[in-house]
């Protein structure tokens, strides 16, 4: 990890506009819950299926990541689609949102950057036969 840090690698996006929006990290999960999301939802699926009497319960997790293509466009597209909610909830001004979207598209088109999606968790089970 020390070698990666010395090369300037960082898991956080180096977007100046995003850094200017106060409380971005906390606002993301808080805003998700306020708007009806279920915090910690990926941990709940398997126990809920088991508690519901399902058999052969399984789980798979994937997290698409890439240096080009659609996976890199998901971040700016998502920001565009949630902009009205972010603005309505006072998390950022229209100018800040526009700047973040612009920087996210710049980041997405840069072949030297890596972007990915949140984890996608799938859980399944089989109803027991009577």
Q: Domains of the chain: which residue ranges?
A: 11-125
Mean per-residue pLDDT, 63-91: 92
pLDDT digits (tens, 9 = 90+) for 5-49: 433 334 445 556 555 554 444 444 444 545 555 555 556 678 888
The larger pLDDT score, comparing residue 59 to residue 2, is at 59
Given a contact cutoff of 8 angstroms between Cβ atoms, the answer to whether 118 and 63 are in contact is yes
Within 10 angstroms of residue 100's Cβ, the number of other Cβ atoms is 26
Query: In the prediction, which pLDDT does 26 show?
Result: 42
> Is pLDDT above 90 for 114?
yes
Q: What pTM value is reported for the model?
A: 0.60
Query: In the prediction, which pLDDT does 59 show?
Result: 87
């Amino acid at each position: 990890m020390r070698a990666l840090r010395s090369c300037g690698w960082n898991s956080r996006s180096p977007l100046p506009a995003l850094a200017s929006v106060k409380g971005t990290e906390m606002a993301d999960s808080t805003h998700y819950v306020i708007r009806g999301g279920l915090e910690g939802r990926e941990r709940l699926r398997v126990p809920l299926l088991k508690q519901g009497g399902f058999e052969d319960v399984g789980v798979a997790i994937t997290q698409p990541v890439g240096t080009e293509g659609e996976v890199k466009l998901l971040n700016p597209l998502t920001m565009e689609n949630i902009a009205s909610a972010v603005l309505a909830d006072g998390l950022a001004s229209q100018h800040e949102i526009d700047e973040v979207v612009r920087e996210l598209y710049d980041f997405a088109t840069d072949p030297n950057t890596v972007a990915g999606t949140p984890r996608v968790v799938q859980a399944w089970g089989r109803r027991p036969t009577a």
